[in-house]
Structure 1
Amino acid sequence: MKYKETLDWMFAQLPMYQQKGKIAYKDKLDNSINFALHLNNPEKKFKSIHVAGTNGKGSSCHMLASVLQEAGYKVGLYTSPHLKDFRERIKINGKKISKKNVKRFIAINKFFLEEHALSFFEMTVGMAFHYFAEQKVDIAVIEVGLGGRLDSTNIIVPEVSLITNIGLDHIHLLGDTLEKIALEKAGIIKKGVPVVVSETQAETKGIFSMLASQKKSSIVFADQKDIVVYPTDLLGKYQTKNVKGVLACLKELTGFKIKKKHITKGLLSVVKNTGLLGRWQQLGQEPTIICDTAHNKEGLALVLNQIKQQSFDKLHMVVGFVNDKKLDVILSMLPKDAMYYFVCPNVPRGLQVKKLRQLARDFDLNGEAYKSVLEGFQFAKSRAKKNDFLYIGGSTFVVAEIV
């Protein structure tokens, strides 16, 4: 198969959570364990850092990878979802896996994948781990896809585990309280492996401490430590919490020589070193145009607070969502004095734009519905004056259509 045919087969034949939701979620690790065995257990052939959390885990992964690259190491980076290109999920020192490698991996393992009906995520994790082992990376930074305990990535035994924070996201799969979700995320804590928590939360601190104690793992709550926060090229003041977690994580990482200069340069070169997109990313000036992939209550609260700190005449918001979010909570948070351009991301889970507009009107949010993300974005740009502020977000998939 050609590369496009390979991707079409991966996307179409096997369910993918980011596109299809709950039907793609598997509640056990058997497939991941069996596939790893089939691949000769590549996850045992490289060192790793495992990163979970509701918000900030992607940014934290990219920061960690950038610092380790600056220290001279060959660094694998596995993240999800991708914005533009599937290959963004699997990188070494910022370079995406080649199309040739993707095609070859699927071709060689296609019979096994079909026979065992692996999910999109299970096969992609296997691809990443095989690639990192084959390429002999010094260390890989591995982002949890969903939850932790039952996530396909949770077959690794890392050098350090990092949990950024806990929020009410994917409650239909992970639980409807912070405590229940924390139990799922804490599933990445391994016996004797140090764990860092970026953000202390009253509802979850006891759970993390208890599970770390049971596993005889040391635990550090980064925001309770006297940590000097280095600047980063990832814009948005909300990154401060992520930086603290990253710095505490690096301190727990033994066997790697990381100096202050590596941290300084690494945190200031995250985008250049890793190719990260969509985190308070500036797309234009006069008017200021910002996009951000925040898509749940906690993440959007940080972004909305950042918007409040900007100086502008009029706020324009191009927003769209997927249909499994608690929109009542999210819509109640959005500023009522903005001009809205309601859109629907082009994925099966996208919330229909007419329904979104109707829901938004119940919260006194005024605006029109548009046929596509691009059309809404273009209308917003045509109406915004040079001293205005234009924001695009609400879903990773909305951002993916314009970056």
Structure 2
Amino acid sequence: MNATVSAPSSTAGLDAWLRYLEALHPSEIELGLERVERVRQRLAIDPAPAQVITVAGTNGKGSTVRYLETMLRAAGYRTGVYISPHLRVYEERVRVNGVQLDAGEHVRAFQAVEQARQDTSLTYFEFGTLAAFWLMQQQALDVWILEVGLGGRLDAVNCIDPDVGIVTSVGIDHIGFLGDDRTGIAREKAGIFRPGKAAVIGEPDFPAEVFSALAARDIHPVRVGTDFDYQLAADGQSWRFSGRHSQLHDLPLPSLPLPNAATALMALELLPLPVSEQALRQGLLCASEAGRLQFVAGDPDYLLDVAHNPHAAAFLANYLQQRFPQRPVFAVVGMLKDKDIPGTLAELTPVVERWFVADLEGPRGAAAAELAAALPGASVHEFPAVTAAFQAACQAARESDSQPLVLVCGSFYTVAKIPEAE
């Protein structure tokens, strides 16, 4: 702990507490459960009798969480959701019955964690995670839906035992913490699974070497393509789901990624709470997430997506080809320098006609010149800020006769800048 940092006063607001959390621990990320578990026990945090669903994965966590939330709420259950990071305001991280809690509630939770931690040092994420759990425990919830921050096994969220664990996907990201080997990354993410409890894998290419280790721990996941599957209808307007015990046909096409909808349906089939087919259909139609395949109609139309690694970029490129096959794409991109910039941009190159790359502010932000260097031979325009790049892309789209779609992607930080540009 930084000994020079003092806790905010009893009357301090949320911004003061967030500054305190940022300064409290010497490192932004410190994986491990010992410290967070110690404070969790002092806070007496225990979800029981609520059911817990924990969602890990390289990509697709946020949309899977949203599907689970909307379908369970449509079935009449009281839900608590914890996600990270937030897109625009910190309050986005906790939802109770689909509603964000106000800043004062978060301050109360921070005060409770501060009192309980005593001399235990917590990172920003660990502190916020415990505060979220404390807030959810104050509610009479039927289901806790928790999104893992990084990895799985050593992530602070994993101090809570899930009744259903989900791994949505396995790709290369957070190399400095998880390594650059998919097998090792898969092991870390599968660390959220518990012996004898339900486990769902939505990654079709999950490393086979990990299954034997899971079986030795009495963990037997259901897998996409083996135990459950889904298929888009020939007309592209509906889809079907095949689970272990259910067959659903002519399902409404959701606005979020379809693979994650199927994974969420499989998880709900394993959850010991009944959910009607009507609730499933209603929840699929209601599911949307800011910054994830978020289409905004206007002059011009634009699409916001937080894709920031090759795995997510490949999915985004395929989505663009399927949904907007006749429209050129003008891409506004800002990225963090610790991401795989060449690999991510390479996945998007086949669908992007013009690039508008921008400096991303902050110590982790990459310069526009670095992005441009990864796009040799392409039509690239560099800008000092995301807002300037977005404005230029929109103006270029208005002047074009081919009705281009403006795509904004590369980072949560990039997408979060767009309302300032409207």
Matched, 1:94 2:98: yes
Partner in structure 1 of residue 207 of structure 2: 204
Give 1:177's match in structure 2, choosing from 170, 181, 198. Answer: 181
Give the equivalent residue in structure 1 for 2:362.
347
SS of the residue 1:317 aligns to: strand
- Partners of 1:53 and 1:266 lie apart in 2 by 22
Counterpart selection for 2:341 from 321, 327, 330:
327
C-alpha distance in 1 between matches for 2:362 and 2:267: 35
The residue correspondences of 1:288-299 to structure 2 (distance < 5 A) are 288-299=301-312
In 1, the alpha carbon distance for the partners of 2:348 and 2:74 equals 39
Asked if structure 1 preserves the Cα contact closer than 8 Å seen for 2:24 and 2:121, the reply is: no
Matched, 1:234 2:245: no
2:52 maps to 1:40: no
Please say which of residues 43-52 and 370-379 is displaced more in the overlay: 43-52
Post-superposition Cα deviations, 1:306-364, rounded to whole Å, max 9, x if no partner, equal 2223144542110011011122222333326621111133333111223323x234x32
Q: Which residue of 2 aligns with 1:247?
A: 265
**2:321 corresponding residue in structure 1:** 308
365-374 or 387-396, larger mean C-alpha shift = 365-374
CA distances 1:200-225 after superposition (whole Å, capped 9, x unpaired): 21x51341x22331222332113332
1:267 is matched with which residue: 284, 290, 293? Answer: 284
* Residue number among 8, 31, 35 corresponding to 2:19 in the alignment: 8
* Counterparts of 2:113 and 2:347, CA distance in 1: 47
Equivalent position of 1:280 in the other structure: 293
Q: Counterpart of 1:30 in structure 2: which amino acid?
A: E
Task: State the distance in 2 between where 1:39 and 1:329 align.
Answer: 43
Q: Does 1:156 align with 2:160?
A: yes
> 1: distance between equivalents of 2:74 and 2:51?
17
Amino acid paired to 1:304: A
The CA distance in 1 between the partners of 2:118 and 2:389, in whole Å, is 40
TM-score (norm 1): 0.90
1:390 aligned onto 2:392: no
Stretches of structure 1 lacking an aligned partner (at least 5 in a row): 16-22
Q: Supply the AA of the counterpart residue of 2:75.
A: A
Q: Does 1:365 align with 2:378?
A: yes
Root-mean-square deviation (CA), in Å?
Answer: 2.0
- Partners of 2:219 and 2:169 lie apart in 1 by 18
Report deviation, 1:94: 1.1
* Aligned CA distance change for structure 1 residues 107 and 27 (closer, same or farther; 3 Å): closer
AA paired with 1:234? Answer: S
Task: Give the superposition deviation at 1:191.
Answer: 1.3
Higher helix share: 1
* Counterparts of 2:217 and 2:48, CA distance in 1: 20
Are the aligned partners of 1:186 and 1:211 in contact in 2 as well (CA < 8 Å)?
no
Distance 1:234 1:44 in 2: 33
Q: What is the rounded CA distance, in whole Å, between the counterparts of 1:226 and 1:147 in structure 2? A: 25
The DSSP-based 3-state class of the residue aligned with 1:195 is strand
Moved more, 282-291 or 52-61: 282-291
Partner Cα distance (1:242, 1:62) in 2: 10
Which of residues 210, 213, 216 is equivalent to 2:215? 213
Stretch deviating more after TM superposition (374-383 or 220-229): 220-229
Note the alpha carbon deviations across 1:60-106, whole angstroms, 9 max, x for none: 01100111101101100111110011111111111112211111122
Deviation at 1:282, TM superposition (A): 1.1
Q: C-alpha separation between the residues in 1 aligned to 2:370 and 2:271?
A: 48
| Deviations, residues 257-296 of structure 1 (Å, cap 9, x unaligned) | 201001000111113xxxx211110123343211101111
Q: 1:142, CA displacement in angstroms?
A: 0.5
Distance 1:289 1:117 in 2: 43
1:84 is aligned to 88
Matched to 1:301, the amino acid is A
1:147 matched to 2:151? The reply is: yes
Give, in angstroms, the shift of residue 111 of structure 1.
4.9
The residue that corresponds to 2:6 in the other structure is none
Point out where structure 2 has 5 or more consecutive residues left out of the alignment: 1-11, 231-239, 242-250
Aligned-residue sequence identity (percent) comes to: 29
